[in-house]
Structure 1
Amino acid sequence: MERSLDYKGRWRNHTVAFRVSDKEAKLLDDLVALSGLTKQEYIIRRLTCRDVVVQGNPRVYKALKNQMATIYEELKRLETVSPDNGELLYTIQVIAITLEGLKGEDE
């Protein structure tokens, strides 16, 4: 296997793996999509307590649109939103923060 540098000139030759539940995997995939980062970069930033700064691009806007459609369908299905819907509430909070940040980019 040929070694190669990443885009910032770093050797990345260590693999870190861990198991997650289906719910955790879905939440992680949603958060990664909303960030506009690769899953690897998102996880590294979160694990090293660095900010995840979302740059508006078509991929992020599509992820926001898809998440909002999913949330809308889930809210229509629910009679009430309770603390038991933690993942849904957390995703809504992340979307609100992301949209607020993107709004600031336009100004």
Structure 2
Amino acid sequence: MEKVLDSHGRWRNRIVSFRVSEEEAKIINDKVALSGLKKQEYIIRRLCEKEIVVNGNPRVYIALKNRLNEVYEELKRITGAGEVDDVLTEVIELIAVTMNGMKED
């Protein structure tokens, strides 16, 4: 069988896996969706401390729209600032950074 190389000529034959909590999985999935990258590429770039540049495309805009709607519904439900959890705070910060970065382009 012939080796299948990725677009950069790398042969990726190693598997890395790990366990995360529900909250951690949600944060990872949100960050991946808002980056516009595939999960594997996002995690590799983060672990290798490479820059992640978000390019506005339909996939990113849809993820932003969907996540903003979810945040809006959650904020409507909350009656006091003490009810805002760390996951929601982190998602709001990520959305703000992403949108500010898109505005600068």
Alignment of 1:32-71 (within 5 A): 32-71=32-71
Gaps of 5+ in 1: none
Q: Residue 15 of structure 1 aligns with which residue?
A: 15
Q: Residue 101 of structure 1 aligns with which residue?
A: 101
2: distance between equivalents of 1:82 and 1:48?
Answer: 36
2: distance between equivalents of 1:45 and 1:96?
Answer: 21
> Which amino acid is the alignment partner of residue 90 of structure 2?
Y
SS where residue 82 of structure 1 aligns? Answer: helix
Residues 5 and 12 of structure 2 are in contact (CA less than 8 Å); yes or no, is this contact kept in structure 1? yes
Change (3 A) 1:79 1:12: same
Give the structure, 1 or 2, with the largest relative contact order (CA under 8 Å, sep 6 or more). Answer: 2
Gaps of 5+ in 2: none
1:3 deviates by 2.3
SS where residue 81 of structure 2 aligns? Answer: coil
> Which amino acid is the alignment partner of residue 25 of structure 1?
A
Change (3 A) 1:54 1:2: same
> Which amino acid is the alignment partner of residue 63 of structure 1?
A
Aligned length in residues: 105
> Which amino acid is the alignment partner of residue 67 of structure 2?
Q
TM-score (norm 1): 0.91
Change (3 A) 1:83 1:77: closer
